[in-house]
Structures are given as C-alpha cells and as structure tokens.
Amino acid sequence: MDKNIRICIIGGGPAGLSAGMYLEQKGYTNYTILERLDRVGGKCWSPYYNGRRYEMGAIMGVPSYYAVEDVEKFCGITHDGPKLNRNYKNARGEVIEPFEPKKNILKIPRLLKMKKQIKKLGELLETKYKGYDLNGHRGVAEGRYDGFAVTPGRERVQGVNENLKDLALPFKEFCAKNGVELVQDVWIGPYTSFGYGYFDEIPAGYVLKYLDFQTTMNFVKVNLWTWKEGTQYIWEQLNAHLKNPARLNSAIEKVERKDGKVFVTVNGEVEEYDKIIVTAPLHIPGKRADGQKGMDEYFDVRDDEKELFSKIDYERYDVQAFLTKPEDHPEISYYVFDNMVKEKLGHLMVYYRRWRDEIDQVITTYALRKHKDMEEIPYEKCRQMVQDDLKIMKNPAKEVINEWSVYYFPHVFSEDYAAGWYDKVEAMQDKYDTFYAGEVMSFGDMDETAEYSRELVERFF
C-alpha cells in the first residue's frame, strides 16, 4: 500500500493509539487520530486524588502483555507501579481463604480435584485446542486458526483444527464438555469480577483468548504489572511520542465513503482521507446517557455492516470511587466470589485498594448489572446495592468522589459466534476503504486491543 495514503483513525484508546504506532513503525506517517473525549486512554482512566492516581478502568497487566511491552519500549517507560495483592470475603463480609487447604479441611477433595482439572485444561489447550490463544477470532468458527502466537516473537501461525469450533460454546458448557468444570473457580476471579460477563452466557473463545493459560497462571501467582502513574499513563506517553498525537474533543458528525475516498465531518469541518480505521464502538444497543454512539449511527452504513453490527451487545459494568473513614479503610483489595454469579447481579464483586502505604486514598468498587437472560438492573439501584454491600463488608463509604458506567466489553453471543460472525466481518476489511478494529474484534482488555491493531497493520498495510 502507498505509504503516503491519508489514514483516519477513530478512537484515542489503546487500539487507536497502537494503530498509529504500528503504522508509523512501518513508514506510514500521514495518519490522523480523532478522539471524542478530552483525554486519551479509553477505558484506561487514572484520575488524581491527593497527588496520586487511582484507577477507574484497567488496573494491571501481566508479563505476556507483549503489545503493551511494545508501547513501553517505544516510549522508554516501564511498569513501575505498586505491587498488588488481594484477599477474599464471603457475602457476609467474613474473610475467607478459598484456595488454602489448611483453612478448608472439608474442601480438600474439591481443591485437589480442581488442581488436577487445571492441569488437564492446560494440556487440552496445548493439544486438542491448538491455536486457541491467537489474537482475534478469525477462522475459529470454521475450525481453523490464523494469526500471531502469544509469544515475544509473535510468529505467524496457521492451521486447521476442527476442535476450535467448541470455543463458540458458553465457557460453562465448554468446561463441562471437557470434564474440567472446577477450573471456573479460578478463571472467574480475573474474568467475571473484571466485568466480562458470566460463564453461562459468554463464548469460551472470549474467555480463553483473554485468559489463556499463561495469563491465568500469572494472575494466580500475582505476577502482575502496574504503573505508578496509572494505566492511562501508558497511553498518554504513547500519544506524546507519536508524530501525530490524537486530536482531542473531536466530535465526528458524519462519515461518507464514496469514489474511493472517505469524507469525515469533524467539528463542523469536512476532512478527506483514503482509508479509515474504526477502533470506536461499531454498534451500541439503545441510547447511552453519555451520548456515545456506534459507528452505524454516524457512518453511511451499508446493509452488511448494519446486519452484522446489530448482533453486538455489551456489558453494563459500573465503577465507584469512594473514600472511607480511617477506621473503616480496607487493609487490602477483596474479591467477593459469592457475588460473581448471575443470581447476585448488581452486587459488589471486588473492591480495590491500590496503595499500601496510606489510608487517605481512593477505593474503587466494581459491579455488573446485566445478564442476557435477566432484566437489566437500573444504574441507581445497582449503585445503592454496592453501597449496602460495603457496609456488610465493614468498609462503608464515607463519600463517593467519582463514578463511571462505561460502554464495556462489546461481544456477540454463541449463536452468532458459531455462525461465523468474525469471519464475515474480517471478510469486509477494506471493502469500503474501512478497517474494523478495537475491542470487539479481539477482546476488551488493553493488550488484546493493541495486539489486534498490530495484526491489522501487519495484514493490510
């Protein structure tokens, strides 16, 4: 492709900024990144309180976050944040140690069985499901794999494996089919509590591409990365090091694709490009209070785009940042496994303490309020449920200083996944001088979205 083409990138989150970086590294410098907000980072949002940053979005990474490592090297930064740890409580607010045999004598048989099943799953993923951990979902529904390996070298890997079709099953059914039901006890912590839905509704492909075996083991061993200035700092630094930093406060009103050109109306002015990369949402069901829209609402959307994108749903995942009285401050972060089931929809699943050395800091809470088979819980009701749960946990909030209900984890469900939704969208790449990237094309964590941008650039530019 001509290195001088004019490329518009919609979205200044990890996917959009990474697309700019990878394009730049391949010699494409005539790109423009348009961001509707007054900041970069997307769901990596790290506001300040009392001189320190706290996390409203992404919290951590692991050593297998190779795309994030690419960004660190590009910017000359590293993961220099506080060391994380956590403990567990039950729904009554009692501290528990669910994975410690000496503290759970009656559960020893189950824990031993779980350990064997984790080992079995690891072996199955390497053999029966070879190719499961490649970035993105291209070919999975057809029983093949095609992409870049989750290794430092990220070599190109291709092959046929009919068993990969099982990844369309909800993760709960996938585990039952393979006789490893108890691994859900481990995978649920970094999955459902981080807002990615419930194992009876979400295809296994999402769960296992995010929580591939090495990533999950890093979570289990608390082998985690954090950044002193927050996850947003990664993307602020990348933006600062790009030749063409994101243009903030860019309100895109209309996109028209005709005569081999792309015309973008932004802040009342029409700009002309040759190609456009969309890392912002492709479709948002219903209306959001923050006014965020899917591309199908402001593009000259075609019938095939409209039909496919209408299948996308997303999680209603809410974050509250609060302060406590000194005597009520939690000594560590806590997971509440009892509340990570659909029957406890809307309840507190985890609350997070970032800094170990002071009490005057922000604590953040996380709750899901949507399941595909249940009535969605209204935001205000969920907000109160979380506040009530904090009292049960004996860490009541004194004051809520920030809150966020963000468009989160766009995905399709098993029927559309199995019917080849991803292969149909991938077949449209560049069809209308348009490329589709961002969360829905891979997964909703910052590394997967950045890695997909790398793959997109490698494949098409």
For residues 122 and 176, membership in a common domain is answered with: yes
Q: What is the pLDDT of residue 404?
A: 95
**Is the same domain home to 39 and 131?**
no
d(CA 345, CA 16): 32
| In a shared domain, residues 288 and 417 | yes
Of 220, 238, 263, which marks where a domain is finished?
220
Structure-token match 């970069």, residue found: 40
Q: Residue 295, SS3?
A: helix
**What percentage of the chain's residues is helix, strand, coil (to nearest 5)?**
35, 20, 45
Q: What are the residues whose beta carbons fall under 8 Å from the beta carbon of 134, sequence distance 6 or more?
A: 145, 146, 147, 148, 149, 150, 157, 209
Report which secondary-structure segment, H or E, holds 75: helix 66-75
49 located within any domain: yes
307 and 358 assigned to the same domain: no
450 in any annotated domain? yes
CA distances from 160 to 21, 101, 131, 168, 177 (A): 32, 41, 9, 16, 21
340 occurs within a structural domain: yes
What is the model's pTM? 0.96
Does 51 fall in a domain? yes
93 inside domain: no
Q: What's the pLDDT score for residue 369?
A: 97
- CATH number at 375 reads 3.30.70.1990
Is residue 91 situated within a structural domain? no
Cα(350)–Cα(429) distance, integer angstroms: 38
The answer as to whether 429 is a domain residue is yes
Bridge partners for 333 per DSSP: 86
Torsion of CA 288, 342, 191, 221, to 10 degrees: 140
- Residue 444, classified by CB atoms within 10 Å of its CB into exposed (0-12), middle (13-18) or buried (19+), is buried
- Report how many domains make up the chain: 3
pLDDT at 101: 79
Distance CA 266, CA 259 (A): 20
CB atoms inside a 10 Å sphere around CB 271: 15
Residue 240's domain comprises: 7-78+227-312+412-460
Residue 421, φ and ψ in degrees, nearest 5? -50, -45
Does residue 402 sit in the same domain as residue 417?
no
Same domain, 255 and 389: no
Residue pair 421/308 in contact by the 8 Å Cβ criterion: yes
Alpha carbon 403 to its chain's center: 18
* pLDDT of the chain, 461 residues: tens digit per residue: 899 999 999 999 999 999 999 999 999 999 999 999 999 999 999 999 999 999 999 999 999 999 999 999 999 999 999 999 999 999 999 999 888 877 778 888 999 999 999 999 999 999 999 999 999 999 999 999 999 887 788 889 999 999 999 999 999 999 999 999 999 999 999 999 999 999 999 999 999 999 999 999 999 999 999 999 999 999 999 999 999 999 999 999 999 999 999 999 999 999 999 999 999 999 999 889 888 999 999 999 999 999 999 999 999 999 999 999 999 999 999 999 999 999 999 999 999 999 988 888 999 999 999 999 999 999 999 999 999 999 999 999 999 999 999 999 999 999 999 999 999 999 999 999 999 999 999 999 999 999 999 999 999 99
